[in-house]
Amino acid sequence: MSKAKTSEQVSSTTAPQTKPLLVAIDDGYAQTKLYGEGPDGKMITLKMRSSVRPGRHGLTALSGRGDVGSYTTEEGEKFTASEEIEAENTQFDTFHVSTMNRVLVTHALISAGYGGLDVDLVTGLPVDDYFIDSEKNNARIEAKRANLGKGVSSTNPTERPVASLKSITVNCQAVAAFVDYITGDDLEERADPTGKFAVVDIGGRTTDVAVIVNGESLDNSMSGTANIGVLDVYSAVNRAIGNRFDFHDRLPTNTIDAAVRTGKINLWGDDHDVTDLVKGVVLEQEGKIAREVERRLGSAASLNKVLFVGGGSALFKTIAEHFRNGHMAEDPEFSNARGMFKYARLFA
């Protein structure tokens, strides 16, 4: 996949648009993933922490070109979106229809090089938000569309213009991941959808389970959402490190994220190895999630496959081994975004 271009590069190297570019965004509680077509026909991918907080937070470009990642919503709220700040907690029920979410989507589009361009946006909702009483939750779907359709302006519009959203579509995240599994990049079927498949989407705040029958229907009795995910790992790692080094600070999320990824952390100017702490926490949380999935699926003997997707699946590398028919998706962090893009292409 090609690396995301900056908005300056895109605007200076591409001809005027003839049609909107299709872009899918998986706007999770912990990470925001983007998968879309670029002006040059190549695919663009972007992964960033869902790091945003209200107000201006003093991030100024050294070039003197203005604030970095500063935005104002149509309602007049001011936000800063950047991995360099300590974010506000995104773990609240209305996150997917919030101004905070809207700013993160805007920031992702600019960061991936879509500033100033026309975009057809595809995004998603967790299972329990997308469906209610065996039917689509049209009120929540429309609320998300309406929220994303409202304005967000950059405080530095010359250098960081926002994308123009020409259409907004909302899909079910876990169902999109199933589309990604059975459909290749050429949009041809690459796996037989016949039978019963469970998609386990481990995200930042939630773990979604969607049981799909013959690629056409959802088994509601086995599907649903549990409030456990990657951010629980971060909180537990923070506590474990604090206990070992005798402090009670809430460490910056990017510090904890680095510790989880590398097993190392810098405290008071010195590097420390916390590999054992991280492994212990990851195994504990992996077990909790596996048991939550088992409560819904049992042994999964009646299922063709239990497919693990999402950022949590990338972290819990052995979680698929808890089930005899468990399967880790290829590049699981992008399964939702890639699936939403494929779905939009298939049914355009």
pLDDT in tens, 70-98: 899 999 999 999 887 777 888 888 999 99
Backbone angles phi, psi at 143, to 5 degrees: -65, -40
Residue 278 DSSP SS3: helix
* Overall average pLDDT of the 29-55 stretch: 93
pLDDT tens column, 159-197: 789 999 999 999 999 999 999 999 999 999 999 999 999
Q: Which two tokens stand for residue 263?
A: 């097993």
* Overall average pLDDT of the 190-213 stretch: 95
Spell out the CATH class of 7-177+336-346. Answer: alpha beta
Q: Identify the CA nearest to 74 among candidates 43, 93, 99, 92.
A: 99
So where are the chain's domains?
Answer: 7-177+336-346
- First and final CA of the chain: distance in angstroms? 23
Q: Which two tokens stand for residue 306?
A: 């239990």
Q: Identify the CA nearest to 292 among candidates 318, 321, 317, 322.
A: 322
In this model, does residue 65 exceed pLDDT 70?
no
Per-residue pLDDT band at 57 (split at 50, 70, 90): low
